[in-house]
Amino acid sequence: MNVSNVPARHARMLRILGQLQSGSGLNAEDLAGQLGVCRRTIFRDLNMMRQAGIELYFDEKLDCYRLAPQENLVTTPALDQEELTTLIAAVHLSVLRKLPDCSDLLQQSIRKLLACSPRHVQHHATRVIKSCSIGTVDNEDNAQTAHIVHPVLVAISQRKILRMIVSDAEVGKEVETRFAPYQMIAAVDTWQVVGRSSRHRGVRTFDSRQLKQPEITDENYAIPRRFRSVG
């Protein structure tokens, strides 16, 4: 392969992947017409994508290529320009972007959404990305917060109990507890977690700076119907 053609081929393969991720049913002739190359080039690109581990197949009934369904992937609904740009603005103005464990996931999710979008929508979204930022907060507790928030979010989504250390002001020392997180309350300078603590035998609200060493267990929990969200 001519080395000078590598960037163009990679760009073309990304566009093919974007088309397939969007659910567009296209065959080699359709793809060749959209990308301005011959069918033979498309076939070579598809083979390289397979070699790279991308599972795709040809749907003979519908005469088009498709990505193999994966159980752990969610079908993304179609978003118009306003919906997508508003969502991107929300992501880029979110305090979650300041947390390393969440930042990479957010950026990766946005890239996937944009890859499935028309060129003019990508252009408008890029403007939004460049125009949104979160101010830097000089806080020595930021690193500690980063290690707490992500495990708590995972525990909430999976309804799993956390085992962790709590700095308990009432007894003036750190104690271990099994904690069922019900809700997170976020601000730029602090996070709070609401849930049931086994140590305190009831629902408690903790500042993230009070928490250490969160460990997600295999034990499930359910939020009581009588619980009322804060805010």
pLDDT tens column, 186-205: 766 678 889 999 988 999 88
Kind of pairing between the strands at 64-67 and 160-168: unpaired
Separation of alpha carbons 96 and 103, rounded Å: 7
- pLDDT (0 to 100) of residue 60: 82
Separation of alpha carbons 132 and 103, rounded Å: 14
Strand partners of residue 178 = 163
223 neighbors 212 (Cβ within 8 angstroms)? no
- pLDDT (0 to 100) of residue 11: 79
| pLDDT less than 70: residues of the chain | 1-7, 22-25, 69-77, 93, 95, 99-101, 116, 132-146, 187-189, 230-231
Question: For tokens 């083979």, what's the residue?
Answer: 47
Single pTM value for the model: 0.53
Query: What is the amino acid identity at position 54?
Result: I
The dihedral region occupied by 128, where left means phi > 0, alpha psi between -120 and 50, and beta the remainder, is alpha
126 neighbors 190 (Cβ within 8 angstroms)? no
Cα within 13 Å of Cα(16), Cβ side: 34
Return the ∠ at Cα 117 (arms to 70 and 53), rounded to 5°.
35
Long-range (24+ apart) CB contacts under 8 A made by 157-162 are 158/216, 159/220, 159/221, 159/222, 160/216, 160/217, 160/218, 160/219, 160/220, 160/221, 161/217, 161/219, 161/220, 161/221, 162/214, 162/215, 162/216, 162/217
In whole angstroms, how large is the CA radius of gyration of the chain?
23
